[in-house]
Amino acid sequence: MNLDFSDRSLLSTSPREKVAMQLSSAVLPYTTERASVESSLIATDPPELAEEGNAANATPGLNDLEVETLMLNLDASLRVYERAHFFSWTQGLLQSLIRHEVLICALRNGDPQAMRADSFSMVAPEQAIFGDMFLRDASVVPNLIKVWEERGFRPMICDVGDTAFARGPFAQELERVKATQILAHGTHDGEGRVTSFFTFASRPGLLVNRHAYLARLVTPFLHSAWVRTEFSGRTKCNDGVLAEKTGKITAREQEILRWVYFGKSNFEIGAILDISPLTVKNHVQKILRKLDVVNRAQAVGKALELRILKT
C-alpha cells in the first residue's frame, strides 16, 4: 500500500486524518478492519487511556512516526500468506510497534471451547513450546479469555505472577526467557464467542497502555494474516517440497542457518566456525536462493517451517 500525501487536499489535515482518508480508498481484507483503523486513528485519545484515566500512560494519540510505522505494519500484514511470512513480519517489523520476546497465536477450532495454538520467538531455541504449554496448562486460556470478556473485549496487560496460572508450566516457560509481562487481545464473532486470541510476552515493564491501544489496531490484521497462513498450510501439500528443500541445504549451510537464527553476524559466524566472513556471506546467499527468500529473517522463518533448521 503506497500512501501519497502530496495531494493538496490533504495539506491542511493532521497526519492521523491523512492516513484515515487514504484508508478510505485502500483495499483491505475486511471492511471491519478498515472501519476499526479509521475510527481509531481519528479518535483524539486511545479509548483505553481515556476510560482508565491513567495519567502516567495517557498520550494524545499517535505521533507522525508511529502512524507511519503502523501503516507499514498493516501493509506488511497484507503480504502474509505462509507461516514463514508470518514469522518474518511478527518477529521483524511488528517489533517496532509492540516489542515482545514471544507471540502466541490461538485460533478457535470449530468447537467454541477448542483452540489450536502456535508460537513465534527469536529468543527461544524451541519456540513451539510456548504454544504447547499455552493449551496444555488448562488454567491459561479460560482465565485470560474470561478477563478479556469481562473487560468488554478490550486488550489487557498483566504480569504472569499476578495471574491464576502463575505457578503453571506456561508461566514457567515465560519466566525461563524472562518474558513475564503479557499483553493479550483477540477477536470475536457476532455472538461474542472468541475466534482468535493473541498473547504478546515481553520483559517486565516494557508494556504500557499505549501498547494496548496499538494491539487494538493491529489485531484484526494479525487475525486475517494468521487465518491465511492456516488456510495455505491446509491446502498446500508440503511433503514433496519439504523433502526437496531438505536435500538442497547442506550440513554446513544448516550450521550457518542455526547461527543466523541466533542473531550472529557474518563476522561472528566466521569466528565461530573458523572460516572467513566472505565464505559465510557466500553460504548465506546460497541459502537465500535455495529457500527462495530475500533476507536472513525470511530464511530463518522458512527453515523453521520446513523443519530443516536444527536449533
List the CATH number of the domain containing 171.
Answer: 3.30.450.80
Of 235, 262, 293, which one is at a domain's C-terminal end?
A: 235
Q: Are residues 250 and 268 in the same domain?
A: yes
Q: Does the residue 161 lie in any domain?
A: yes
Tell me whether residue 85 is in a domain: yes
CA nearest 105: which of 123, 71, 79, 130?
130
Burial pattern 200-216, b for ≥16 Cβ within 10 A else e, equals bbbeeebbbbbbbbbbb
Q: What is the mean pLDDT of each run of 10 residues along the chain (311 residues)?
A: 42 47 41 42 39 44 89 93 90 94 89 80 86 92 93 95 93 95 95 94 94 95 92 52 59 88 90 90 89 86 76 54
pLDDT at 311: 54
Q: Supply the pLDDT for residue 247.
A: 52
Residues 72 and 160 in one domain: yes
- 8 Å CB contact between 291 and 302: yes
Q: Where do we find the cell 513451539?
A: 128
Specify the pLDDT at position 310. Answer: 56
Number of domains in the chain: 2
DSSP state letter for 8:
G
Based on the domain organization, do 285 and 161 belong to the same domain? no
**CB-CB contact of 107 with 113 (8 Å):** no
Q: What is the DSSP letter of 203?
A: -
- Does one domain contain both 272 and 137? no
311 falls within a domain: no
Are both 58 and 203 inside the same structural domain?
A: yes
Exposure b/e, 255-283, CB count within 10 A at least 16 = b: ebbbbbbeebebeebbeebebeeeebeeb
Angle at 212 between CA 207 and CA 218, to 5 degrees: 120
Count the Cβ atoms, other than its own, within 10 Å of residue 137: 18
112 and 152 assigned to the same domain: yes
Structural domain ending residue among the three candidates 202, 235, 268: 235
Domain enclosing residue 279, as ranges: 239-305
Do residues 33 and 161 share a domain?
yes
Please indicate, yes or no, whether residues 207 and 92 belong to a single structural domain of this protein.
yes
pLDDT of residue 293: 85
Considering the domain architecture, whether residues 59 and 184 belong to the same structural domain is answered as yes
* CATH number for 297: 1.10.10.10
- pLDDT score of 233: 54
Looking at the structure, tell me whether residues 28 and 111 fall in a common domain. yes
160 lies in a domain? yes
In sequence order, what DSSP letters do the residues of 140-183 get, joined into one string?
Answer: HHHHHHHHHHHTTS--EEEEGGGSTTTTSHHHHHHHHTT--EEE
List Cα–Cα distances, 187 to 87, 198, 307, in angstroms.
Answer: 20, 9, 30
> 149 and 245 share a domain?
no
1 found inside a domain: no
Same domain? 230 vs 263: no
Q: What is the pLDDT of residue 195?
A: 94
